[in-house]
Amino acid sequence: MEDHPLVLDSPIAFVGVVGLGDSSVNLAVRPYAKPGDYWTVYFDVYEEGKKALDAGGIEIPFRQRVVHQA
């Protein structure tokens, strides 16, 4: 977020853990932008976050149920 040209320097952007799911760590991602730039920043930050997770080999888990039949 620090490198995004539309994210404001103040207040400082925030990322924190807001919860732990069954198979997830839920994050709050809070960059600050001017009202007219909000949606651009919103989508850009989430897209870049997903790309960073992919580059790090981190996969988003999906719930699954395994059924064994005898």
Give φ, ψ of 17 to 5 degrees. -80, 125
Q: Could you tell me if residue 21 is left (phi over 0), alpha (psi between -120 and 50 degrees) or otherwise beta?
A: beta
pTM: 0.75
Which distant-in-sequence residues (6+ apart) come within 8 Å of 59 by Cβ?
53
Distance CA 53, CA 56 (A): 5
pLDDT tens, the chain, 70 aa long: 989 999 999 999 999 999 998 888 899 999 999 999 999 999 999 999 999 999 999 887 777 788 999 8
Counts for the chain of helices (H) and strands (E), in that order: 1, 2
